[in-house]
Chain A
Amino acid sequence: VSGLLYDLRLVGKSLRRDPRFTLVMVVSQALAVSLFATALATGRRYSAMTGQLAPDVYRVERAPMPALESFFNGTNYEGFGSFATLYVSRPIARALAADRAPAAQTPSFVAALAGGPPGDEPRRLPVRFCEPDLFDVIRADFQFGGPLRRDDAARRPPRPTTVLSEMLNQQLFGGADSVGRTVRIAGIDFEVVGVMRQRPGKVHLWDIGISPENLGYAVVPFAFADALRPVPWIIWPPAFDDPTWAGLDDSSRSFMEYWVRLPTAASRAAFQATLARTDPDLLLRSGDEIVARHAHAPAPYRVFAILTLVVVEASVINLMRMLLAKATARASEIGIHRALGAGRRTIFARQMLEGVLVSMTGSLLGLALALPTLRMFDRLIPDTPVKLAVTPAIVGTALLVCLLAGLATAAYPAWRVASVQPTRYLGKV
């Protein structure tokens, strides 16, 4: 320990000797790391979705549509074509609902209506229509209250209750506990029974495919769809003869997701048979497959992450160059150390320590700088209202990359300095 402290003292002295030089090294590394951490945060918003679905969850989907997918591929809307496979029509949903095999099942779609707390100025209000079973399918955390209750939805007439997303609760009630308050939606008063918590820096798996302006929504029982007559914004194919709720009722147009929980092999087999009878084009996609689809961030974010990784590389080379120049300039001092008995390993370790110290200081400063950078990104690129966040996973990844980069940075100058004979250094004294 005392050796390490001695080395640290020497390294500190070396860095203090030319503070402007040290500052350039630290700041350039910090800027690169802040950009890299920001790229990780933007990518993470749409990827790594494990743990958001209950086990045994499946979604009913349509067979892939290669023509539509290739239409969007290679553009900024990469992957958009596959969204059309996620939806089924209302007649199909009705046929599937008759099957009792699933332990839980729900259609789900979002449509924009109008409303707000009674007495407030009405506003555009996105609404998600689903059965209370949705909360058995997804793993939603609650900020206040809890999920929709089955007995409320099963009553005749159903009890008008709603669960708000954190974003909508913020917009309507300033983020306060709104359980027990009323939200008027298209003329019907709904009692708030829960507020879902938004995961920091991440769009929920069940919200992917919902347009950003609809992400702050109220969840209401599907039983109210006939009264509220919503017309969903996303419909595939988009044109049809009667674009009203009544027109959608028996149309082949797809607009709702259909989620099920099938805990046993028998229930899976029974439901598969129902699917085949209903429409041979339908298939069951497991929760694991759905999560795997979002293992990687969308293409534009991946490109940005690769670019920022190259920025870190360039910053590492810059640092390496500066450390080498610094070590070469201190040749006489190192020569004296060697002549006084310091071995190559000691010199190497000291140089490594200096490199890693500079690199890690720059990285920590970069992570601190990432916070205002993220806020700037959120303002500049209004891709989604889900704000970017620096999570422990991002801090860990960035620090690991920076530690490896720091070791690589310091190794070459340290090796160069340590490998030269002391006599050559002493010649410069």
Chain B
Amino acid sequence: MELGPILRSMRHHKGAFSLLVLEVAFGFVILLHALIYARYYRRFGTVAPGVPIEELVVVERRFLHPRAPERARAEERAALALLSGLGADGVAALDTVPLPDSVTFPMILRERGNLKAAFAWITRATPGVLDALGLKLVVGQGLGGAPASGDARPIVISRRLAGELFDLPEQALGRVIDGGPGARGTVVGVVENFALQGSGTPSWGSVAIVADEPVTEHRAIYVLRCRSDRRAGLVEAARRALDANPVAAADAITTVRPFVFENVRFARISRGAVVVLCWTGFLIVAVALAGSLALSSFSVTERTRQIGVRRALGARRREIIAYFLLENLILTSLGLAVGLVLGYGLNRALQLVMSNIPLETDLVLLSAGVFLGTGLLSALVPARRAAAIPPWAATRTL
């Protein structure tokens, strides 16, 4: 196939072809960025690693009247003992639901007397928390017996936090962490990284668990863990136990639910954003395809005489098809080249607004592939129409 006639045709219809190149370029830029953004949101809603979500049961109790702290502590211990008797693999009281719907602030933690500091997500929990959340111990031990106060308060930290503060997990054991009142204590163990807040939060794997009774005047949270196939039974048992116990049931709104990641707000936002962005990408490809298909009759009518002459000179049908496809391939490639430059520019501009949406090679290739495929598909319709033009059509307009 000779390129000469194609290039001459392009020169002749430079206005229309330039618009096609621009449309491919803009379409590519949008599809690419919709995919980049969708991937960002997908990451944001990925199941948090390090916690066996499908094994967790969450119990939340909200009290109708504020309780005096002493009474609150006594009731919390009673409820914890009640839940511990249900045969779960782990039970603990925490001051926050794992992966809450809304993010709180992190703490700044440092070793006493050391300038090195790190941000960490912090929670207060009773000693069974490692079993309750299914955390994997790297070194040391869990929160142990009854919580002590002050510097002797046991703290378990994640591997990432240990790395940031002490370089190696082994070096963290026995060191005193000081994040101010309520976040002061001695490291007794290091666990594998896990997400306490959403996995889209910065430094999600940097977590500290402080041994304490997380008593508040209005709310108590318990987490239980068991094998996923036993979870429905555990939910039912916990519900019955709390309803039947007059101390635990009195004056409280109690909810017992299996922890379902898909119901967490940031997971739903992530899923919705991915749908919206994929829809945006699909829309732009569909608009480009519909436009090209709608134009197919015009592009063939415009060149009936030219095609007729080629057919009269001996061009076969498949050569006419190849001609149209090659022409489209050249134009789409040009459009993708322009799109790459535009896409790079737009990405730099967008990164001034949000820094963590960089160009990614696989998505560049995927977007380019989609537009090459769409281009060829949209060229196939006019190409087949053109191939059907008989040689005598050339004489009609002479």
Contacts and interface: CB of A to CB of B under 8 A. Distances in A.
Contacts of A74: 354-356
Given A310-B30, A314-B23, A381-B273, A115 B64 contact: yes
B182 interface: yes
Contacts of A163: none
Contacts of B81: none
B294 A381 contact: no
For the complex, would chain A's binding face be called helix, strand, loop or mixed by DSSP majority?
helix
A211 B19 contact: no
Nearest to A124: B62
Size class of the A contact interface (CB-based, 8 Å)? 35 or more
Given A114-B218, A212-B102, A325 B66 contact: no
A75 B201 contact: yes
B16 to A, nearest CB: 6
B288 A318 contact: yes
A77 B218 contact: no
A6 interface: no
Contacts of A115: 64
Nearest to B20: A321
Interface string A327-358: 01100000000000000000000000000000
Contacts, number: 223
Given A245-B66, A317-B22, A381 B218 contact: no
A1 interface: no
B272 A321 contact: no
Interface in A333-390: 377, 379-383
Interface string B28-49: 0110011001001000100000
Contacts of B26: 310, 313-314, 317
B353 A299 contact: yes
Contact of A328 (B62, B122, B302): B302
A244 B355 contact: no
B346 interface: yes
Given A237-B108, A306-B350, A321-B16, A186 B284 contact: no
B205 interface: no
Contacts of A21: 294
Contacts of B29: 310
Interface string A131-150: 00000000000000000000
A203 interface: no
Most buried by B among A32, A113, A314: A314
Most buried by B among A20, A243, A245, A304: A243
Interface in A74-96: 74-78, 80, 83-84
A425 B234 CA distance: 82
Most buried by A among B69, B271, B294: B294
A118 to B, nearest CB: 12
Contacts of A241: 181-182
Most buried by A among B95, B272, B287, B357: B287
A230 interface: yes
Given A234-B105, A317-B23, A322 B295 contact: yes
The 3 closest A-B pairs by CB, nearest first: A380-B272, A74-B355, A239-B182
Given A74-B354, A114-B62, A317-B22, 4 more contacts: A25-B294, A83-B105, A114-B218, A381-B272
Interface of B: 15-16, 19-20, 22-23, 26-27, 29-30, 33-34, 37, 40, 44, 62-66, 69, 95, 101-108, 119, 122, 124, 179-183, 200-203, 210, 214-219, 253, 265, 268-269, 271-273, 275-276, 280, 283-284, 287-288, 290-291, 294-295, 298-299, 301-302, 346, 349-350, 353-357
